[in-house]
Amino acid sequence: MKLINIIALSTAAILSLASCEMKNELTGSLVDKQDMGSVELGISVKQPVSQTRAEETVATNNFPVTIQGTSAETADVLKEYATLDEVPSTISVPVGNYTVSSHTPGELQKKMENPYYAGSTDITVSKGITSEVDVVCRMANSRIQMKYGDDFKAAFSTWTITVDDGTETALSYTESDLNPAPVYWYFGENITSITVNIRAVTVQGNSVSERRVFKKEDAADKYEEVGDAFTGGDALEINMGTVESSTGELTGIDITTNITFEDESESVEIPTTGPGGGPEPPIGGDVTLNLPADVTYSISAGNAPASADAYIASEAGLDKIIVTITAGNDAFQAILVDLTMDGQSFLAENGGVNLIDNEDFGNLVATVGSSAPTNGTKEYTFPIGAFFTFLDMTGATDSGKQHEFHITVTDKNGEEASGVFKVTINE
């Protein structure tokens, strides 16, 4: 009796297992037929037109690939392949929506030595259908090339140049590399301008500072499909040269920037933006006011710049150079209350000081080997650094404040240019 019961129970268990297996097999087959589709995947690269060469193709076989479900029924589906070579010829996935993405191996960095390509596309997989998808990877970073003219290299012994897009990181160049390699720079989102700052020392030992702002929207030629923000695939070329007076004297640094858009082969110039916010006029026309880069230094470190010069010019002749100063702390404010130049006050509420033919101002800047500008002169270098002695005497600027030098220039034709130079001092 016990043996019969054991046999009966074993038979029931076997039949039960067989029934479950057959049910699962039938159910699985039914799901496969009703709920599954497939994908055939390819990866291609779209290079910027200006960088495309017949012999320079970008291999994609080592690009990683990700297939991520994006609809409710596919949210848990994630397929990742280390390289395109590892992707099967046909990939089976549940029906629904997906995003397929791929990119150059590794992570996109702010600064790289090579282009970084990335792309993604959305697809819908239908039941029993093979969907063909080609992910087009475009250049995610931009090419920046710094070039030095022979006149620039002959005029300066040392320099530090920064290219700043307003983020936490800036590009830096020095005289240690006269032929810098291109840099591939990731601008990120909504970067519409770059600022080029330079501090250089001439072969005679004089310090020169310049600052230029370049906005993509100011490019000489624009195309309907090109936006105002720098994007991947843009190529920037920054050229450094010199500015000389009619007598051959070095008066400043010439900085020009050209841009080649992703889908164009020819470069166009981006005119520099002057202190007033518009395109900077040429020296031979309206008023030119080239301000030095804003300064931050520490009294304890003793790293104040040797000079800070503003270059001012107009072929029509200079009529007024009005300077007002906003103090960054109470101590310097007290000095400004008492400091007058030929009876004029630097305080804005008192109208400021006109530097033209100002004898007291001439005495001040004589300490740095300069003089006051004369009425009708066509160019003048304003040595703002002559004020640094006063600034050091008054200590650090208050938190969130700077010493501000507001300069407004008017020429004999009534044309104006204005700008602000700021100094921040730490203890």
Q: Tell me the DSSP string of 36-101.
A: EEEEEEEEEEE--GGG-BTTBPPP-TT--EEEEE-SGGGTT-EEEESSGGGS-SSEEEESEEEEEE
How many residues does the structure list for the chain? 427
Question: pLDDT tens for residues 98-135?
Answer: 999 999 999 999 999 999 999 999 999 999 999 999 99
Q: How far apart are CA 59 and CA 123, in angstroms?
A: 24
pLDDT at 223: 64
pLDDT at 304: 80
DSSP 279: B
Residues (pLDDT < 50) of the chain are: 1-33, 54-55, 274-285
Q: 135 with 43: CB under 8 angstroms?
A: yes
pLDDT at 56: 67
Q: 167 with 191: CB under 8 angstroms?
A: yes
pLDDT at 6: 40
Residues 6+ apart with CB under 8 A from 373: 312, 318, 321, 355, 356, 357, 380, 382
pLDDT at 102: 97
Residues 6+ apart with CB under 8 A from 71: 96, 97
pLDDT at 230: 93
pLDDT at 49: 85
**242: helix, coil or strand?**
strand
pLDDT at 286: 63
pLDDT at 204: 82
